[in-house]
Amino acid sequence: MITAGIDMGAKTIKVVIVKDNKIVARSMNPTGFEPVQTAEKTLEEAIKQAGISRGDIKKILTTGAGRKSIPFADNSVTEVTADAKGINYLLPSVRTIVDIGAEEARGISSDASGRVLDFSKNDKCAAGAGAFVESMSRALELTVPLMIEISHKSTKDAPINATCAVFAESEVVSLIHTKIDKADIAHAVHDAIASRVCSMVRRIPIEKDVALIGGVANNTAIVEAMKKHLGVEIKVPEKPEYVSALGAALLAAA
């Protein structure tokens, strides 16, 4: 059986196609201003990659912020449910999932079958999300990859009170003017995000194994900082940004 999962994220749309419980395609595009068209395009790219035709797909399930806007989907499921299912497939030992997306972070507690037991999310606050990393990289006049790279070279703490992303940006500007090394500022930014996220995640029971997913999981500086704040080993699956879409595809096959 062939199914597809579409993660309609705020920043990017991801598609995963699963055939008989195996991942056969992944594709991603920036969401842009025409999300339905982007979803169509991304799906077509994945279909081509899988070497199948549209009619071969038995069911399409959407997830993500824009999940209800896709007319050609059969149904939708929330990101929390999709995350738990997806990670259960990739790393069955995981019981706590931290998903940091562009604009939202989630903490999910799940059981051995990938069922959601509890979850927490950040409320109207982007200080613990991917968009913050990008805006800070602009303030530091660095690309995100370079910011991550120099962050690992930091030798000093420069704490940021990142209760609010907007004010945290002001603090970063202040730090730049005090001639603190960019590496230390970059490290401070990552530390602040991890701190905010962990603060939110601690509202649910934290049980090993703990996994970090979502696009921000590719940020090794965040992974290091999360390990430090949570005090546990953090697993990052391959292609962490696709876990939600994968979960949706698997649920479509269930």
Partner 1 sequence: MGAIEKFQEVLATRHQYAQDWKKKHNGKAIGWLCTYSPVEIMYAAGMLPVRILGSHEVQDVTDRYLFPTVCPFSRDALAQGLKGRYNYLDGLTMARTCSHVQGTYDNWKNYIPIPFKYYVWQPNHMQSPRAKPLMVQEYKGFIVALEKFTGKKITDQDLGKAIELYNTNRKLMKQVYEFRKKEEPPITGAECMEMVVASQLMDVAEHNKLLEQLLKELPTRKLNRNVGVRLMMVGSEMDDIVFVKMMETLNCTVVIDEHCTGSRYFWDEVKPGKDHVAAIAARYVDRWQCPAVAAEFKPRTDRILKHAKDWSIQGVLVYQQKFCDPHEFDIPSLLKMFKDNNIATLVLEFDVTIPFGQFRTRIEAFLEILELELV
Partner 2 sequence: MTTVTKYKTAPLKCWQKGKELRLEAYRDLATGHEQGKLMVLGCAATPYGMLAGLGDFVFLAGEPYGASVAADPPVSIPAMELYEAKGYARDMCGYMRNFLGTMFQDKYYFTGGPFPKFDFAWSVRHCPAGHPKWHQIVSEYQGIPMNYIDDETMLGTDGDQQARIDYVAGQYLDSIEWMEKITKRKYDDEKGIEAMRNYFINEGLWGEINLLNGAIPAPLDIKSMFALMPISMLRRHEKVAIEFLTELRDELKERIADKIAAVPNERYRMCMLTPPPWSFLKVFRYLENYGVVFAGTYVYLINSGEVKFLYDEGKVVPATPPEKRPGWKTMKNREDLCRTVARWRAEHPFQSHLETRKKEYVIMFKHWKANAYLLLINRGCVPMTTSMYDFQRDLNRQGIPTSMFEGNFADCRDIDETGVLDRLETFLEGQGIQKIQSL
Binding span for partner 1 by CB under 8 A among 6-14, 68-76, 80-88, 168-176: 168-176
- CA pair distance 74, 36, nearest whole angstrom: 14
Contact between 200 and partner 2 by CB under 8 A: the answer reads no
Distances in Å between the Cα of 207 and the Cα atoms of 90, 107, 111, 223, 232 are: 17, 11, 10, 17, 10
Binding mask 183-222 for partner 1 (x = CB under 8 A): ---------x--xx-xxx-xx-------------------
Q: Which is nearer to partner 1, 200 or 246 (CB)?
A: 200
Scan residues 130-149 and list those touching partner 2 (CB under 8 A).
none
Could you give the dihedral angle defined by the CA atoms of residues 200, 201, 202 and 208, in that order, rounded to the nearest 10 degrees? -170
SS3 category, 108? strand
- Residue 111 sits in the site that holds partner 2 (CB under 8 A): no
Which residues fall within 8 angstroms of residue 194, CB to CB, at 6 or more apart?
222, 225, 226, 228, 229
Contact positions with partner 1 (CB under 8 A) in 228-247: 229
Exposed / middle / buried, residue 51 (Cβ in 10 Å: 0-12, 13-18, 19+): exposed
Q: Does 11 bind partner 2 (CB under 8 A)?
A: no
CA distance 26 to 239: 9
- Which member of 21, 53, 143, 161 binds partner 1 (CB under 8 A)? 161
Is 54 a residue that touches partner 2 (CB under 8 A)?
Answer: no
Question: Exactly one of 21, 93, 143, 163 binds partner 1 (CB under 8 A); which one?
Answer: 163
Q: Which is nearer to partner 2, 2 or 119 (CB)?
A: 119
Q: Between residues 79 and 171, which has the closer beta carbon with respect to partner 1?
A: 171
* Angle formed at CA 250 by CA 248 and CA 234, multiple of 5 degrees: 80
- Please give the Cα distance from 35 to 174 (Å, whole number): 37
Contact range with partner 1 by CB under 8 A, out of 68-76, 87-95, 135-143, 153-161: 153-161
Integer Cα distance of 198 and 224 in angstroms: 13
Backbone angles phi, psi at 14, to 5 degrees: -120, 145
Point out which span in 82-90, 98-106, 173-181, 214-222 binds partner 1 (CB under 8 A): 173-181
Q: What is d(CA 223, CA 152) in angstroms, rounded to the nearest whole number?
A: 11
- 124 lies in the site for partner 2, by CB under 8 A: yes
155 interacts with partner 1 by CB under 8 A = no
Positions touching partner 1 (CB under 8 A) are 159-163, 167, 170-171, 173-174, 177-178, 192, 195-196, 198-200, 202-203, 229
Positions touching partner 2 (CB under 8 A) are 65, 77-81, 115-121, 123-124, 203, 205
